[in-house]
Amino acid sequence: MGLLSRRNLLVGAGAASGAAAVSACSSSDTGGGSGAGAAPGRPANWPSESDWEALNERVGGRLIRPVSPTVACASDAGGDACTEDLKALENPFVHEDLAGATQSTGWLDAWTTEVSPYAVAAQSARDIAAAVDFAREHDVRLVVKGTGHDYLGRNNAADSLLVWTHHMRNINRHDSFVPDGAPAGTEGVPALTVGAGTRWLEAYGAATEAGLYVQGGGCTSVGASGGFIQGSGFGSYSKAFGTGAGGVLQFTVVTADGEVRVANQYNEPDLFWALRGGGGSTFGIVASTTLLAHPIPSLTGTVTGTIAAADDAAYEELVRRYVEFYPEALNNPSWGEQVRFNDDNTVELALTWLELTEAEARATWAPFLDPLGAPGSGFEVDVTFTEIPFEHVWDLMWWNENAPDDVVADPRANQPDNQYWWAGNSGEVSAYWSAYESRWLPLSMYTERPDQLVRMIVEASRIRGFTIQSNKGLSGAAPEALERDRQTSLHPGAFDAAALIIMAAAQAPAYPGVEGHEPDTAVAESSREQVNEAFSIIREALPGQGAYANEASFFTEDWKQEFWGDNYERLLQVKHEVDPDNLFRVHHGVGSDED
């Protein structure tokens, strides 16, 4: 039996039965404090065993010892237990059920996943506060993991105390939510409050059941209250509803002093502003988030497929036609998601529409697709339009009946019937990254400098393919969505951006240190060089445009301006006010370069 079969006996018992978690595994521990000083390799001031026991008592026995998800491979990388565990780790929900796992396994020359010696399996804001107090008093590094999707390794660190919010998945619906501290007579709005460990699939399910929609991410397993939304958070329908951050009405957050605070536009307004876009695990640890709920849309749909150009000249013409088509047809609240430009003279479509019928969606695309599909045009068009009742967007049964290849159901026993992930996201599970770059693409490139945009797309895609994601960018967004997002700390460049360009390279599944399953370093280095070469063309064409902090390079140089632009100085002021000793420090987070 592999670790992934056994671990629920350990972690489950620890989360539910008091001190059993710490004492049950202390006999086999390989690195915790011993009470007589730090173990070899630990910091000299590492807390004693009695200190950890005291924390365990304070959190009701929910202090656990996380275990590496590949521990079975350490002794026998070719054995059945290792094989079983690695196969299980191709499931994103397995990573979330394990305190010691992260969805990304590392980044070339940057980081590899580390397992915290201890974790608080938090079930409340009080548990989080206890962990924060302990870390502050004992000078222990804190890391936070909800669902573990962070590309930059910010949710794991050696010699750290992990705050694991996976169990905090309560969802409460409000017919008429009024933020704490609001003036008398403030009109309530429909809302959803989600715990720190809630996944978007769960939030969407609860909203749909009530005839509502909350704006979040497209990946079903991403957290609805953690780093995604605190880093702004774009989803498929952000042109219609704005970012996830813009839809937040209130946070319950634990700050560095161990206080549980309520942050909204009336209470702690500066902290509220910073939490909406300033980056996760930077200003505090969020225990719950209240999201604005909208009436559920009636229809959505997808445009998917490939357009192949006969040769290089035809490909350039294809790119030109798309650049001309986009501003009037797609830069509006009805359209989202992405188009991919490849090095083999193909363009792939993977877009969504909102509140259009299939006939209306086809009519939108007809001026672009019909000439390309004509005999002798030099193009091959294979594109499909699929209309979806919005109430079924996150309904596994509907997908199994209508598009089974698009989804992967969680195959484990005793899981929710509707738990699944998109097949297209499988390439990010247990991924080892070698490059990830993003850049805001302003609408003016389409309308004022189309020739330069065409050259940029063609030249860069000759070296390596990339996507242009129109839902990540707020040019053409609905006015009410823009109004909400202008109250957040999102990079100002996003408001003029028609889209976000993303170019990345990864190997998946890949596990550093696991013999026979390690990433290929030569391939990683080669793909990194390719991305660097191709993206330099994009960066040169778009100077000063900035990047999306949730999806960016580990090695971003001018990261303060790249991620937050003119908002950085105000964010830093908030950081100094709520975390003067820099307890919450993550890679390229606000204030992370200060002592």
- 259 pLDDT above the threshold of 50: yes
Q: Which of 541, 562, 587 is the last residue of a domain?
A: 541
CATH number where 133 lies: 3.30.43.10
Same-domain pairing of 284 and 309: no
Rounded Cα distance between 592 and 279, Å, is: 11
Could you report the per-residue pLDDT of 278-322, keeping only the tens digit for each? 999 999 999 999 999 999 999 999 999 999 999 999 999 999 999
Average pLDDT over residues 155-174: 97
For the cut 90, the answer to whether the pLDDT of residue 241 exceeds it is yes
Angle among Cα 504, 506, 509 to the nearest 5 degrees reads 150
Tell me the mean pLDDT in the region 136-144: 97
Query: What pLDDT, in 10s, does the model give residues 268-279?
Result: 999 999 999 999
Residue 403 belongs to a domain: no
**Residue 586 resides in a domain:** no
**314 and 435 together in one domain:** yes
Is 407 among the domain residues? Answer: no
Domain C-terminal end among 541, 557, 576? 541
Predicted local distance difference test score (pLDDT) of residue 467: 98
CATH code: domain of residue 264: 3.30.465.10
CA–CA separation, 99 vs 17, rounded Å?
17
- pLDDT tens-place string over residues 4-51: 433 332 323 333 322 223 322 222 222 223 223 345 567 888 999 999
Q: Largest Cα–Cα distance in the chain?
A: 81
Residues 6+ apart with CB under 8 A from 149: 103, 104, 219, 221, 222, 223, 227, 228
The pLDDT value recorded for residue 27 is: 25
Q: What is the mean pLDDT of residues 393-415?
A: 96
Whether 21 is in a domain gets the answer yes
Whether 368 and 464 map to the same domain: the answer is yes
What would the DSSP string read from start to end of 54-120? HHHHHTTT-EE----TTHHHHH-TTSHHHHHHHHHTTSHHHHHH-TT--SEEEETTTEE----SEEE
Asked if the structure places residue 51 within a domain, the reply is yes
User: CA 280, CA 589: separation in Å to the nearest integer?
Assistant: 8
Number of domains in the chain: 3
* CATH number of the structural domain spanning residue 363: 3.40.462.20
Residue 580 in domain: no
Q: Which segments of 389-442 does DSSP mark as H helices, in order?
A: 396-402
pLDDT at 504 over 70: yes
- Based on the domain organization, do 116 and 264 belong to the same domain? no
Residues 262 and 367 in one domain: no
**Which of 296, 328, 353 corresponds to the end of one domain?**
296
Query: How far is the C-alpha of 541 from the C-alpha of 246, rounded, in Å?
Result: 29
The pLDDT assigned to 43 comes to: 84
- One domain, residues 374 and 260: no
Same domain assignment for residues 157 and 291 = no
Average pLDDT, stretch 185-210?
A: 98
Q: Say whether both 122 and 198 belong to one domain.
A: no
pLDDT, residue 42, reads 79
Shared domain for 529 and 475, answered yes or no, is yes
| Residue 571 within a domain | no
What is the rounded average pLDDT for all residues in the chain?
93
557 in any annotated domain: no
The predicted structure's pLDDT at residue 415: 95
**Whether 310 and 383 share a structural domain:** yes
Residue 419 DSSP SS3: coil
Both 209 and 316 in one domain: the answer is no
Residues spanned by the domain of 121: 3-164
* Whether residue 155 sits in one domain with residue 61: yes
